[in-house]
Amino acid sequence: MGILREKFDTQTRQRSRIRDSAKVCQFIINGEWILPHNRLEEMSELWRAVQTIRPSQNHEPDKLVWMPHPRGKYTIKTAYTVLRTQHPKTPWTRLFWTGACIPRQATIAWMAVQDTLMTQDRLVQWNSLKISNCVLCNNQISDRVTSLNSSATTYSPVPIIQRPSSQVSSLSSLCNQLLYDHYKQASNTSIYHWAQQHASSSTRPIPENGFHIFFECQLAGSIWKQALAWCGVTRKHTNSVKEWRWILRRLAGHSLHKLLIQTTLTATIYWIWGERNARIFKQQARTEQQLVQLIIRDVKIKLGSSKANYIDNDWNRLAAIQVGQAMNIVSTQQVWVSWEPPPQG
């Protein structure tokens, strides 16, 4: 039946003169239901359902039953399941949370694909910055942007533009075409203040956001292209949305080659984000080739220590050669078996 106060509002319960602390045994006398005289019309269905249940004849004391548990037992696990918000599982989460990925790199990659990294476009929306500029591919005007961000110049208020929802069913935030178009529009808040600086520079800032830095940025896109080529994959890059949809739909799996690309993906995101931070906060810069070598180094260290065996095929052999694990490739052999009927008797 459930709990009375969850089925009826306070006024209905007060008019019924049934206290919230009332027990079922108070309505049973000599094994028969004794219903109250002032039965409300709102509770008529409840009383009809009650009369179809035969009261128990054994006089056991009342006990609490925790309904979420199949045996009525309270556990922290079932309580947490009831309290937390339930969402359908997305298959692409296995792309990052596997034993093949380095945990700190998987964490940064997870934040990137959810569009929750603290990119400059967010700081502009919070009025912590005035102008957003990608330091990876537009570094020649970074000093000018920094001076404008730190100056006491009074700018007109940034127009409020409604940001589309970042949620896409079964896909990540970086697969949202509406959100991508929002960042690409000419009236983007990240460059609104730059338009007020008429003599600043003929080169416009390139706003830094999740779509740009992964992987439409010239430096980041080139690094990702070289990392994929090292994994044996040649792909023509179009835009960030299509790239991420391809990543999330095609790179899931447990073969050695798929694990190689997954680890390479998280390492690439990690080092691109680290390079961005180094250039902003430390004024230090690495070359493109240095970053590619760091990515390859991390992948080799992580997968090179694997003791698992993998099926012998062209892709797995390529991956094994790249990480130095050729001995973990096992050839499959056909084993012929025959069946004989059991002896009679």
- Say whether both 9 and 38 belong to one domain: yes
| Domain membership flag for residue 275 | yes
d(C-alpha 34, C-alpha 24), whole Å:
10
| Domain membership flag for residue 341 | no
Number of Cβ atoms within 10 Å of the Cβ of 2: 8
54, 83, 112: which is the final residue of a domain?
83
The dihedral sign for the CA sequence 241, 243, 246, 248: negative
pLDDT of residue 199: 46
40, 56, 83: which is the final residue of a domain?
83
| Domain membership flag for residue 182 | yes
- Say whether both 225 and 275 belong to one domain: yes
| Domain membership flag for residue 33 | yes
Rounded to two decimals, what is the model's pTM? 0.72
pLDDT of residue 224: 95
| Domain membership flag for residue 337 | no
d(C-alpha 343, C-alpha 345), whole Å:
6
Number of domains in the chain: 2
- Say whether both 188 and 139 belong to one domain: yes
- Say whether both 194 and 273 belong to one domain: yes
pLDDT exceeds cutoff 70 at 313: yes
pLDDT of residue 304: 87
32, 61, 83: which is the final residue of a domain?
83
- Say whether both 15 and 146 belong to one domain: no
More confident residue, 333 or 190: 333
Tokens 């942007």, located at residue: 145
- Say whether both 290 and 211 belong to one domain: yes
- Say whether both 79 and 98 belong to one domain: no
**Bridge partners of residue 8, in order along the sequence:** none
- Say whether both 132 and 184 belong to one domain: yes
More confident residue, 126 or 165: 126
Could you tell me which of 153, 152, 162, 148 has the C-alpha nearest to residue 194? Answer: 148
- Say whether both 183 and 220 belong to one domain: yes
d(C-alpha 123, C-alpha 29), whole Å:
70
pLDDT of residue 202: 57
- Say whether both 136 and 213 belong to one domain: yes
Structural domain span for residue 15: 4-83
Phi and psi at 171, nearest 5°, equal: -130, 170
Question: If residue 310 lies in a helix (H) or strand (E), which one and from where to where?
Answer: strand 310-311
- Say whether both 166 and 298 belong to one domain: yes
Chain centroid to Cα 118, Å, comes to 16
| Domain membership flag for residue 345 | no
For 225-268, how does the pLDDT look when each residue is reduced to its tens digit (9 = 90+)? Answer: 999 999 999 988 778 899 998 998 888 888 999 999 999 999 99
pLDDT exceeds cutoff 90 at 54: no
For 107-145, how does the pLDDT look when each residue is reduced to its tens digit (9 = 90+)? Answer: 999 999 988 899 888 888 777 777 788 889 876 555 555
Averaged confidence pLDDT in the chain? 81
| Domain membership flag for residue 265 | yes
Q: Helices 103-113 and 256-277 meet at what angle, rounded to 10?
A: 80
pLDDT of residue 154: 57
| Domain membership flag for residue 324 | yes
Q: Which of 90-94, 114-118, 158-162 has the lowest mean pLDDT?
A: 158-162
- Say whether both 77 and 98 belong to one domain: no
